[in-house]
Amino acid sequence: MPPTPSPARPPSARPSSARRPLGHALAGLLDVLLPADCAGCGSERAQLCPACRHVLATSRPAPTRLPWTHAAAPYTDPVRQLLLAHKERGALRLAGPLGEALGRAVRSALGARAGAAPLLLVPMPSTRSAVRARGHDPTLRLAGAAARSLRRAGLDVRAAPLLRHARPVADQTGLNAAERRRNLHGALTVLPPARTGRAGLAGRHPVLVDDLVTTGASLAEAARALADAGLPARAGATVAATVRPAG
Ligand SMILES: [Zn+2]
């Protein structure tokens, strides 16, 4: 990231932080203070330049190794940089375009079933310490943006954070697929109805959503937790998927 300071944005460009929890206000402030270079490629004075916006908008949803999960784009630059800027650096305005990409992956994963029943996007939960450290819950924010984008397209979609961690889990980095499954088994649980207002969500078909799928171990554990609660996931969808080299 170049050290040159960028010109301040007009006040109208600032996300409204009034009446938001402190974490959101802080994340919004970080968004304003960030240099205005493109978060995807570092060029130009826009947080998301036209070229990177085009990559995000034209990536075609592709199935991953999990048959029921589709991703909107490969986890390569600039999509990787955009996800990291949103998740780790509080670039909150990227939630809109990233959420649209996630919405396309939802439609792609469901295929003809996309409009057949009201949908409930269930984000993969962040740990409380991660939410504290980042100042926001990026996956919940992406789920909300995806639901809005699908509603604009005429679908009946809501997003609700139904899942939480039942116990601490080790950092997945560096674990292979089998180790990830062992680390995660039984790690997630569904919030009791009173905590989520689940009554209002009855009859909706759950779709698991996340920013990134790598081995699919987290999504598989989330699917197990939902199924155990009598809410089987109809599909999974992510903004990006890691792509292994051919061969
Ligand atoms: Zn760019």
How confident is the model at residue 30, as a pLDDT? 52
Residue 2: its pLDDT value, please?
42
Query: What is the per-residue pLDDT for 16?
Result: 41
pLDDT at 245 over 90: no
Nearest to 169 by CA among 108, 126, 211, 119: 126
Query: Rounded to 10 degrees, what is the CA torsion of 64, 68, 72, 78?
Result: -40
Ligand 1 center–CA 48 separation, angstroms:
6
* Distance between Cα 50 and ligand 1 center (Å): 7
Run of H or E including 129: helix 128-134
- pLDDT the model gives residue 92: 94
> For 160-182, how does the pLDDT look when each residue is reduced to its tens digit (9 = 90+)?
999 999 988 877 778 877 787 78
Q: State the pLDDT at residue 194.
A: 63
Residue 74 DSSP one-character state: E
pLDDT value of position 87? 95
143 CB neighbour count, 10 Å cutoff: 32
Q: Model's pTM, two decimal places?
A: 0.75
Read off the pLDDT of residues 185-239 as tens digits, 9 standing for 90 and up. Answer: 889 999 887 666 666 778 899 999 999 998 888 898 899 898 888 888 999 999 9
Residues 6 or more apart in contact with residue 162 via CB below 8 angstroms: 120, 122, 190, 191, 196, 198, 201, 206, 226, 231
From the CA of 49, how far away is ligand 1's center (Å)?
A: 4
Cα 81 to averaged position of ligand 1 atoms, centre (Å): 9
Quote the pLDDT of residue 161: 94
Q: How far apart are CA 57 and CA 72, in angstroms?
A: 9
